[in-house]
Amino acid sequence: MRLTGVELRQIAVPLVAPFRTSFGTQHAREIVLVRAVTDDGEGWGECGAMAAPLYSSEYTKAVADVLRDYLIPALAEVAQLDPWRVAPALEPVKGHRMAKAALETAVLDAWLRAHGISFATWLGATRERVAAGVSVGIMDSIPRLLDAVGGYLAEGYVRIKLKIEPGWDIEPVRAVRERFGDEVLLQVDANTAYRVADAHHLARLDPFGLLLIEQPLDEEDIRGHAKLAEIVRTPICLDESIVSARSAADAIALGACSVVNIKPSRVGGYLEARRVHDVCVAHGVPVWCGGMLETGLGRAANVALAALPGFTLPGDTSASDRYYATDITEPFVLADGHLDVPREPGLGREPIPERLESVTVTKEWITVRS
């Protein structure tokens, strides 16, 4: 397979409601999409980076720049292209894992389509559908939070994740537990908002029987997470800290976490995501699939990943209408708290042209070979 050209497209999809975390509020999801065109067909990749470098150092404008100026030219040098040759070709460029992941996914989608293989089959998925959790942002008041959680439970979501930050943690969790009971699968996500000095405060969450506390400390503070794990009984889960299979192995060995959130975009793509999964399974550490408010393209790939055997906890694989009134692909629909795993060749989803055009901000064609 030979790469002939790449389209970079920036889209902005309105959210059904503002989504607030400890690092900011989103009203629309700005996304870079990559369409890789080869002599065997084309494929799509979705970049997880946000408009500003708040969740990670990557952001949409920088993604487009590094793809255009460095990553696509590097991949153009690969004469016999397949998914396994992408990462080695891009390795000389330091970092930029989200940009690399989008390009690798586009190549992978094209290759799988050309070979008539579904993403789920290629990954080694063992389930036909996956349990869906939902992420609930920081609210203006506890009554609003309870209304939101009640609505998601009524829709059938099997796990609730609450975003937290200093000043919005103990009381919201207490209120949800008191209203909906101990049987609800409940976890919290701090997005690095706390410090080691907050350990005893976070330990006040222990009585609520949470599945986990996700990324309480700075992403580089692995030792701090290990110290926190000695004080807090609730399992510590790492998200931003896990950028590769190696970093997952190190964090586990150091006692910094007992659960891992795998976000393929954050670790550089789905090949590396599967390696992270395998490392965690080998160490008896449960994993779950995180989300970056993906459209149907990224959601299709994540649902397939979440069907691997080590994903024993419900992930942030919500239905399309959790975030978007109209998705750019055929939507994912919740049924009995689960989403079906696509089984068509490639990702199993592709953009609907008129929907894609309606949210497109910019597009650029880069010719690799004529």
- CA proximity to 33, closest of 74, 83, 84, 67: 67
Q: ∠ at Cα 266 (36, 351), nearest 5°?
A: 35
Side chain identity, residue 282: A
- CA proximity to 7, closest of 355, 358, 351, 348: 351
Rounded Cα gap, residues 33 and 48, in angstroms: 9
Q: Note whether 361 and 29 are within 8 A (CB).
A: no
Q: Note whether 345 and 108 are within 8 A (CB).
A: no
Look up tokens 């490639």; give the residue. 346
Calculated CA dihedral for residues 199, 204, 208, 210, nearest 10 degrees: -10
Which residues are the active-site residues? 163, 263
Look up tokens 């894992």; give the residue. 97
* Structure tokens given for 282: 């080998």
Q: What is the DSSP letter of 196?
A: G
Residue 157: Cβ within 10 Å count? 26
Side chain identity, residue 163: K
Side chain identity, residue 250: D
- Classified as helix, coil or strand, 4 is strand
Cα dihedral sign for 273, 264, 238, 173?
Answer: negative
